[in-house]
Amino acid sequence: MKRILSYNVNGIRAAIKKDFLTWLEAEDPDVICLQETKAKAGQMSESEFESLGYHFYSFSAVKPGYSSVAILSKEPALHVEKGIGNEKYDREGRVIRADFSDFSVISAYFPSGTTGGPRQVYKMDFLADFTAYLNELRESLPKLVISGDYNICRLWIDIHNPEKQQNTSGFLPEEREWFQQFVDFGYIDSFREIVSDPDHYSWWSYRAGSRERNKGWRIDYNMVTEPLKDKINSAGILPKVVHSDHCPVWLELDV
């Protein structure tokens, strides 16, 4: 059994100051995918993670303190790929992949689009180009786990007050249309294979006590390709883990 977590830490150095390392040692996943580390290699207390038994792989944005992703794994990766071969996205440090003997894991930080205008266009471009990258990749690596902050609520039940959010980036009709197409391509939402009820979220605004009132969004996912669908043992969300405005989402695969 492999336990895989995905967590947008909203700054790994800030999370470490909030006892992230102690939590990780107790949680003890086989793999954890991080987004928004907001740090360069050498700035992330890598040796402390290594002392917990993790191999630390990271890919950082050119711009300091921005975006950036990482994969930590107990098992050494057979190969690590940084980026998707497109400088438009790779300069922002949005995607890293680690290949293992049984499957490959991707940690992805999708653009938010919340500032609108050009960044929403950039987000939609990323959705199309990342999908094309994955569709080609799975021809050679069919067993993929695509973990990360997708910055999109997939379903009506994945966001509080959906009626009022339809003009908000992250729940726009065209974003949800992309997500449905993504699922139709054979990418499986592991959480929704296990849990069908509403009010399960992975991100909350810092404003107006949103987290305490559970007025959130489910925008963090562990998606898997079809060959791993029957390997999903369990999946869930850890809303009480509070190093960030996000919380971790987890998946157990029977591999």
List, as one string, the DSSP characters of 111-160: ---TT-THHHHHHHHHHHHHHHHHHHHHHH---EEEEEE-----SGGGBS
What pLDDT does 81 receive? 98
* 227 DSSP assignment: G
Domain count, the chain: 1
Predicted TM-score of the model (pTM): 0.97
pLDDT number for residue 131: 98
- Cα angle 67, 83, 252 (rounded to 5 degrees) comes to 80
Confidence (pLDDT) at 114: 84
Q: What value does the mean pLDDT take over residues 35-47?
A: 98
Provide the pLDDT confidence category of residue 232 given band limits of 50, 70 and 90: very high
Dist. CA 234–CA 154, nearest whole Å: 19
Collapse the DSSP code of 242 into the 3-class scheme (helix H, G, I; strand E, B; otherwise coil) and give the result. Answer: coil
pLDDT tens digit sequence for 135-186: 999 999 999 999 999 999 999 999 999 999 999 999 999 999 999 999 999 9
57: domain CATH number? 3.60.10.10
Instruction: Say how far apart CA 230 and CA 226 lie, in whole Å.
Output: 8
- Which are the contacts of 76, defined by CB distance < 8 A and separation ≥ 6? 55
Average pLDDT, the chain: 97
**How would residue 208 be classed by pLDDT, with cut points 50, 70 and 90?**
confident
Sort 55 into a burial class: Cβ within 10 Å, 0-12 / 13-18 / 19+.
middle
Domain limits for position 240: 2-253
Active centre residues (catalytic): 149
Residue type for position 191:
F
